[in-house]
Amino acid sequence: MAKAPTTQTPATGEPVRKRAPRKPQDKAGPTDIADPVMRSEAKRAFVWLGMASLLALAVLLSESLLIIFGGMVFAALVDGGARLLGRVVKIGRGWRVAIVLLLTVAFLVWVVLFAGSQIADQAAQLPATIEAQALRLFAWLQEHGFAADTASLQGLIERALGGLSEVTQAVGGVIGAFTTVFLIVVLGIYLVVEPRLYQRGFAWMLPTDQRDYFEGTAQLMGRALRRLLAGRLLGMTIEGLATWLMLQLYGVPMAALLGLLTGLLAFLPNIGAPVSGALMIMVGFSGGSDMGIYCILVYVIIHLIDGNVIVPLVAKKTVDLAPALVLGAQLIMGVLFGVLGLTLADPMVAMIKIWLEREAARHEPQPGS
């Protein structure tokens, strides 16, 4: 290797080595920062820009992330059923998961084959019945001095019935957003078959000193989610069956449809009960005042049992959420993501609360420190 040429200083005569000419790749580029303070600040700026980019990406992919969370909720639901079955039947977890999935499919097939035609016929009649009762109520208000625009009310009713028609059509067999439901179910099955595989994979991406904390938080979230969903299913089953039986005994029209709607809407706390109650009462008054009063009594009795027995029983074993907090989350998620966001708002708030409580406990000063 050739040495750099040398010269002698005029004062001492000692040789002085000349610097070799710098190669182009050794020269400072536009992104090289010589000042260490500026270099540190630039790194911080890039970190903040990266966080902002991740936030923007999360907003862009929010619907996909919500579908993934829906898959996790479905997986927790199946896993809870498998754990409950394990208390009765001592078989492997894989067999228990398969049994729960088969029972779910069998129930859906039964609804479609045996109850589908009846419910579909009732669903087709429900919008016209609701519209007729709303117009009767409006006429009664006008007779008692309430001034309102008939055309405006008619348009409001039609818009409301447009959403109601979509719900009843979905109940009657026209399944909306089939792709979303299919993806949630498939993701849920993958997650519930091998949950530890995905949990370990996510933990592997975290620093080693954070993995035990993540494992503990994930276990708490899974336990609370299973119990929350078990309570929801218990309430849905009791409210749906009780509504159907009590309305059927009195001969209320569309009893099967109203029972099914009451059971499904029971999954939505704060919102589901008033909506199902309003539908039940309006259908009841279509058969006369006595039937309408009976439907009011059915609504009150069922929701008194739900509020004083089922909800306290579930709240003792799950995350105790403030009703206003859940309602606010439902309104926001419903506006952003529609029915899917409205459905998943409650479990999401529960998971966020557990995470915040874990973070608060983690940073609390220890006694004696």
Note the pLDDT tens digit of each residue in 322-333. Answer: 778 888 888 888
* Per-residue b or e along 260-272, where b marks 16 or more CB atoms closer than 10 Å to that residue's CB: bbbbbbbbbbebb
Note the pLDDT tens digit of each residue in 206-218. Answer: 778 788 888 888 8
The pLDDT of 158-168, averaged and rounded, is 48
Higher per-residue pLDDT: 271 or 369: 271
Rounded Cα distance between 360 and 24, Å, is 53
Res 8: pLDDT: 53
Q: Residues near 172 by Cβ (< 8 Å), separated by ≥ 6? A: 116, 119, 120, 123, 124
DSSP label of 322: -
- Please check whether residue 330 is in contact with residue 350, taking contact to mean a CB–CB distance below 8 angstroms: no
Nearest to 70 by CA among 268, 344, 346, 349: 344
- Please check whether residue 127 is in contact with residue 101, taking contact to mean a CB–CB distance below 8 angstroms: no
Rounded Cα distance between 312 and 241, Å, is 20
SS3 annotation, 198-263 = HHHHHHHCCCHHHHHHHHHHHHHHHHHHHHHHHHHHHHHHHHHHHHHHHHHHHCCCCHHHHHHHHH
342, part of any domain: yes
Work out how many domains the chain is built from and give that number: 1
Nearest to 283 by CA among 248, 316, 255, 305: 255
Note the pLDDT tens digit of each residue in 38-96. Answer: 777 777 787 788 778 877 776 677 788 888 888 898 998 888 888 888 888 888 888 88
Q: Residues near 230 by Cβ (< 8 Å), separated by ≥ 6? A: 80, 84, 314
Mean pLDDT is lowest, of 54-68, 97-111, 287-301, for 54-68
Report the mean per-residue pLDDT for the chain: 75
Mean pLDDT is lowest, of 41-45, 285-289, 318-322, for 318-322
23, part of any domain: no
Higher per-residue pLDDT: 51 or 158: 51
247, part of any domain: yes
Rounded Cα distance between 21 and 205, Å, is 45
188, part of any domain: yes
Tell me the backbone φ, ψ of residue 45, rounded to 5 degrees. -65, -40
Nearest to 68 by CA among 233, 239, 185, 229: 185
- In the predicted structure, residue 172 carries a pLDDT above the cut 50: no
Banded pLDDT at 165 (limits 50, 70, 90): very low
Q: Which domain holds residue 281?
A: 61-361
Mean pLDDT is lowest, of 96-110, 115-129, 145-159, 280-294, for 145-159
- In the predicted structure, residue 37 carries a pLDDT above the cut 50: yes
**What angle do helix axes 195-204 and 211-250 make, rounded to 10 degrees?**
140
- In the predicted structure, residue 164 carries a pLDDT above the cut 80: no
17, part of any domain: no
- Please check whether residue 223 is in contact with residue 107, taking contact to mean a CB–CB distance below 8 angstroms: no
3, part of any domain: no
20, part of any domain: no
Banded pLDDT at 203 (limits 50, 70, 90): confident
- In the predicted structure, residue 159 carries a pLDDT above the cut 60: no
The pLDDT of 169-179, averaged and rounded, is 49
- In the predicted structure, residue 236 carries a pLDDT above the cut 60: yes
